[in-house]
Structure 1
Amino acid sequence: MPPAATGTWGDDPYARAVRSGRGPLFLSRGDGWLLPLEVERWCARADAVDLEVLRRCEGGVLDVGCGPGRLVVELAARGVPALGVDVSAAAVARTVALGGRAVRRSVFAPLPDEGRWGTALLVDGNLGIGGDPAALLSRLRELLAPGGLLIAETVPADIDERVLVRVTDAAGRSSAPFPWARLGTAALLRHARPLGWRAVDQWAAGGRCFVALRSRRSRVSRSRSSSAEPAKSTALISSQRAAKPSGDSAVTDR
């Protein structure tokens, strides 16, 4: 199991950007390569491209790497059970302040209602979490209900790479280095098929590319009486804001 990604996105450059709602912010490599991060879009309301993603969701939704929470907040406004997961205290705080539900934790740590989520989201580059696509895709199969849906955003290019990156701001401040991955659609499908995923849709909008994958029903099939939505007694995370929770803490109902 990959180590929890604490101390990466939670470091100061990212936290400052999330709190202010603006960049510039970058993923940077040691060779000078920079990838601009779309902080302003992440901190805004869900746009038309996001809404098309949410329209395809089924049952309860787990947003992995939820960031400032625009998708979780939009789902909550629609009455859809949704939980954001992020290692950044600033991102979780912003999400719950806006009315969403979120937990500060690595996706590889224990999470509420494992094996019962209807949909998992990996957007805004979060397919790269941990720098090990196979480990992440395997973990998502554990979190989803049998036959559950994964919607992943891919790089709009034919790319399959592992990189060591930092989060860097315009002032030159940066986080500690951490592993990341970048995958185009073809690369994602190559990794996903041997792990029990099948592609059910692909689309592009607003310069962004997406793939919908469904996990094969290798576990006990869902009965007609069961639901992909998580039980509200355990999956709902309080919308009361907590002050700077610890690295593996949840903001939970009391």
Structure 2
Amino acid sequence: MTVETVVVVSTTDAMDAAFAGIGCWLLQSDGRTKPLSVDRWQQPPDLHDHRLFLDDVHDETVDVGCGPGRLVGALSARGIRSLGIDISGEAVRQTRDRGARAVQGDIIGGLHGVGQWDRALLADGNIGIGGDPVTLLHRVADLLRPGGRVVVEVARHGVGVVTERLRLQVGRELTPDFSWSVVGSDAIAGIGDAAGFEVEDVRESGGRHAAVLVKRPA
């Protein structure tokens, strides 16, 4: 009997593979699996991206978890000073190929441009990074000028806050498990308040939702 070998790889390596076009699966803690559909993030921004994140942006913006740069690329094309941050070197390369600025890094472990930005984006559920939305928003607050805004994509009303342990699989390669949170529109006000933000607006487009949070004065 042959035992299949499972190779453990880093989350960064798995995301690099996914953005390079290799099939990647998300393994949930309840045993469910689903494909990580990075192809949507590699397309130009759609109508709902524009309505939720782009149309009203005229100031300096940092995109946290930018992926291959569809949002920051669109902002850069409009001449808006912007920066993408992502753990994946391949995502950063693709963002730069769009003509946008991007750096490889982890918002939890290090900051890029403290106090320099008017706006931050947490699209595509990136409020879940690290499984601790309050800590994540504290890090984002450090990036923003006083009165700065963060636009957070959230789940539908009634979800609350759900945190679970996930893994990624590429072929026979698995990542260690990591924490990820899903935050509903009903819970973002409390999370924002704990991190020093107030809700200015909640938007909906095409079944997607985003909350605009304003950084309170120190």
What is the 5 A alignment of 1:108-187? 108-159=108-159, 160-169=161-170, 171=171, 173-187=173-187
Aligned to 2:5: none
What RMSD, in angstroms, separates the aligned Cα atoms of the two structures? 2.0
Does residue 104 (structure 1) correspond to residue 88 (structure 2)? The answer is no
In structure 2, distance between residues paired with 1:18 and 1:31: 25
What is the 5 A alignment of 1:1-254? 7-8=10-11, 10-12=12-14, 14-20=15-21, 25-52=24-51, 53-159=53-159, 160-169=161-170, 171=171, 173-218=173-218
Give the number of the structure whose residues are more often strand, by fraction. Answer: 2
Please tell me whether the aligned partners of residues 62 and 84 of structure 1 are also in contact (alpha carbons under 8 angstroms): yes
Q: What secondary structure does 2:129 align onto?
A: helix
More displaced, 37-46 or 147-156?
37-46
Q: What secondary structure does 1:103 align onto?
A: strand
Where structure 1 has 5 or more consecutive residues not aligned to the other structure, the ranges are 1-5, 219-254
- Which 4+ residue blocks in structure 1 deviate beyond 4 angstroms? none
In structure 1, distance between residues paired with 2:25 and 2:124: 13
In structure 2, distance between residues paired with 1:73 and 1:33: 33
Where structure 2 has 5 or more consecutive residues not aligned to the other structure, the ranges are 1-8
In structure 2, distance between residues paired with 1:130 and 1:185: 19
Deviation at 1:183, TM superposition (A): 0.7
Q: What are the superposed Cα offsets for residues 175-228 of structure 1, whole Å, 9 maximum, x if unpaired?
A: 22111111101112111113321111111112211100101122xxxxxxxxxx
The percent identity for this pair of structures is 37
Q: Give 2:165's aligned amino acid.
A: L
What is the TM-score with the length of structure 1 in the denominator? 0.76
Please tell me whether the aligned partners of residues 134 and 194 of structure 2 are also in contact (alpha carbons under 8 angstroms): no
In structure 1, distance between residues paired with 2:123 and 2:34: 16
